[in-house]
Structure 1
């Protein structure tokens, strides 16, 4: 048995204990439906206790030398490296990730902690000039205090850590609420890592619960000053409104409907590889996935033939098998939502070039052609292994199609002319877009975030430092000032 399956408790105030809620949450393997473990969920009292603990521990964290803080965060990386095999297994079992996906996710986690480990040494202030004689202006960068983090089920280890590690590195206390489908990988595993690294007790708390139990309390509690949420646009909109109501800052990384555009001069074989990777990585359960592949009519037939051939060869099924590319979706509800959207698209006129079977939560690839911008499959985020292929004749038409969505997270464009690609990319209204690459990219030093309904704010590098800190102006009047009265 994987030792991490024993992490089935709340982690509050540095202690592992059952929640006070009445409900038992069963953590299931999405591939075979087997129970991994069970949690007694947290209730409102647990949420309050977690936030209170984070606030107290933050005062202790303030007194720790920045170089010591850096060392503690580096110890977290060392713990991960010592337990990568077990972490790979829990990613496979709890969220149906393939071995390839697990390696990718663990690598991202280590990279973001390495960046966060520099934050204690980057809490820099400034001395600024003043128009008032004898005045010294000091500007201090300070932690916001306590950060609440809500993470999703698709990349739970990384998307939790992406906020947790920088928030800790910037000097904050943290309360993390993982998705109920991935409470270990997105929650208690992270608590274990930082417990072993040596952070003060209570600085990081993990509460496993459900909205039916706690309502909006996680966001509305008076202690957290920043709420970092990754998940659906619908839920993100509500969290943003609640945060604004209580004068909190919300960092929102939300859904996407990314386009990968293939211009007529592109390297077709390379573009096919990038497009397949961009759609079918982790069964398409990636916010940056290329939902829409938009291809110039001159190369459309060649691209589609090669694309369908490559997708047809992807192995589907058991994520424990090393060569599996497409494993299960996280739960039956996600399967049903995807199939319903695909069926609606077919009724609207989309042509299924490839439509595999459904085995439990494993959905074999679906490739839809003749898709237009008014169809459901083009408008919605397809959070699964289904893709829309669309045709265009001019660059202006391609840009119009790419921008005809309320989302704006990622994208890609393929062309032999790199500067043409860069100019094209500037015209696509999205937070991130890549020339001659896939739509799925995330790096620890580069601003990550979306436009429109894909979110607010940016994470990674100095942008995470901005999200989880505030500025305080302290002025010192060295000589008496002349007041007007």
Structure 2
């Protein structure tokens, strides 16, 4: 089990797949094999692994996860280098993703350590993996994807949840940035987990997803193949850039701490997002404070270093795909034709897009409807709460946003009128949980996530 292909039980459903360095554009590695196992063979091996997992004690599963964690700690620098190479994510953000993977594995270990019984058929995982597709109980073979923006931590989530719940795992690494996921999966081969407990499919063809989806939820004795259809739909969309994403939304009211708001928004959009996975933001600013806030945005953006993601000082690296660059460029051209104007000089040279700040007030161009996979901030100046509501609703329902105000009545009004599933409130006293317990009664089914509660997780 020393070969990488054997360690990860790599199932090749294509002749060759090339992976490129996102900064240099040079070929980094090619994955290929002559072994073309059938789907039936893959699932048969998973069924055997699932049956073997039933006999593993909690102690043995904890030990297996500890070995995986030790390998991450030993290889942290090389893992972050792979993330930077294949995603374009700046080095410091790649290091953060390695830390995130460590935390996910540690959360699963802690959850298993806290079990009060000897078997692990229905464990409760920690918050870091609690939202996983596996629903936290043993079903048979579960399947999941690794996204190109977070190839290591998304693989860690699947592995941690699968081992903790006793499921065999069929995993789809991103074809754009597969190697960080494959490296992490290979560490499973150093444990005593059953062979074929994790099987990996790399595929250029969407037909393989369709074929596997057609088998989902079909029981065979005690074995069942379980998919999350929404996750696979999102995976296919992102890998093929088939449609534009939803904008993220930030709302800055006239009582906001403007310096803090500008720094927080810029960091979350440009410097805290994966370089390959940046998604545009619709920023709605009260007109009374718009000029000062825009000047602060320009100052902060101008200080961000764009370039080689392996440079520790780089804040924004290359985008993950030339298709992404081209799509963003086309949308920006249409947006400018419809009346928006850039507040910074446009600088788009594949694979880079320098941060774009658009004044889009009064414009119903494409950025008001949908976002782009690029570092774009579309600014909309407003005077009233009704304008905020109207702007949030353009293009469809608004599900989440960041809100910068100290006025709890503004928070309540927007939450009730827009039906947010989550609202990140960033200023005292509005983010004080006592206010939420007092003003938001139980008839509001959607939770509110404040900055404080996120920090406490």
The TM-score bracket by the shorter chain reads 0.7 to 0.9
How far did residue 419 of structure 1 move? 6.9
1:224 aligns with 2:216: no
Match of 1:479 in 2: none
Match of 1:473 in 2: none
Q: Do the aligned residues in 1 keep the contact of 2:245 with 2:370 (CA within 8 Å)?
A: no
**TM-score, scaled relative to structure 2:** 0.78
How far did residue 15 of structure 1 move? 5.7
1:268 aligns with 2:258: yes
- Distance in 2 (CA, whole Å) between partners of 1:392 and 1:420 is 14
Tell me: CA distance 1:213–1:225, structure 2 relative to 1, closer, same or farther (3 Å). closer
- Other structure's SS at 1:206 match: strand
Q: Do the aligned residues in 2 keep the contact of 1:283 with 1:385 (CA within 8 Å)?
A: no
- Distance in 1 (CA, whole Å) between partners of 2:250 and 2:27 is 38
The residue correspondences of 1:161-180 to structure 2 (distance < 5 A) are 161-180=156-175
User: 1 or 2, which has the higher strand percentage?
Assistant: 1
Match of 1:129 in 2: none
How far did residue 273 of structure 1 move? 0.6
- Distance in 2 (CA, whole Å) between partners of 1:435 and 1:411 is 9
1:191 aligns with 2:185: yes
Q: Do the aligned residues in 2 keep the contact of 1:28 with 1:34 (CA within 8 Å)?
A: yes
The residue correspondences of 1:241-252 to structure 2 (distance < 5 A) are none
- Distance in 1 (CA, whole Å) between partners of 2:189 and 2:283 is 44
- Distance in 1 (CA, whole Å) between partners of 2:183 and 2:398 is 32
- Distance in 2 (CA, whole Å) between partners of 1:208 and 1:224 is 18
- Distance in 2 (CA, whole Å) between partners of 1:431 and 1:43 is 46
Given candidates 193, 202, 212, the residue that maps to 1:208 is 202
- Distance in 2 (CA, whole Å) between partners of 1:417 and 1:203 is 52
Instruction: Note the alpha carbon deviations across 1:101-149, whole angstroms, 9 max, x for none.
Output: 11221222222222233455385879xxxxxxxxxxxxxx841211111
1:39 aligns with 2:31: yes
How far did residue 436 of structure 1 move? 1.1
> Aligned-pair RMSD on alpha carbons?
3.1
| Count of residues paired in the alignment | 396
Match of 2:295 in 1: 305
How far did residue 37 of structure 1 move? 0.8
The residue correspondences of 1:83-482 to structure 2 (distance < 5 A) are 83-120=75-112, 121=115, 142-185=137-180, 187-211=181-205, 214=208, 216-222=210-216, 224-227=225-228, 230=231, 233=234, 235=236, 255-281=245-271, 282=273, 285-286=276-277, 289=279, 291-371=281-361, 374-406=364-396, 408=398, 410-417=400-407, 420-421=410-411, 424-425=414-415, 427-436=417-426
- Distance in 2 (CA, whole Å) between partners of 1:233 and 1:19 is 22
Select between 395-404 and 165-174 the one with higher mean Cα deviation: 395-404
Q: Which structure would you say has the larger RCO, counting Cα contacts within 8 Å and 6 or more residues apart? A: 1
- Distance in 2 (CA, whole Å) between partners of 1:204 and 1:124 is 18
Q: Do the aligned residues in 2 keep the contact of 1:148 with 1:226 (CA within 8 Å)?
A: yes
Instruction: Note the alpha carbon deviations across 1:430-450, whole angstroms, 9 max, x for none.
Output: 43321118xxxxxxxxxxxxx
- Distance in 2 (CA, whole Å) between partners of 1:78 and 1:158 is 15
Match of 2:56 in 1: 64
How far did residue 424 of structure 1 move? 3.8
Runs of at least 5 residues in structure 2 that lack an aligned partner in the other structure: 124-135, 217-223, 239-243, 428-457
How far did residue 20 of structure 1 move? 5.6
Match of 2:22 in 1: 30
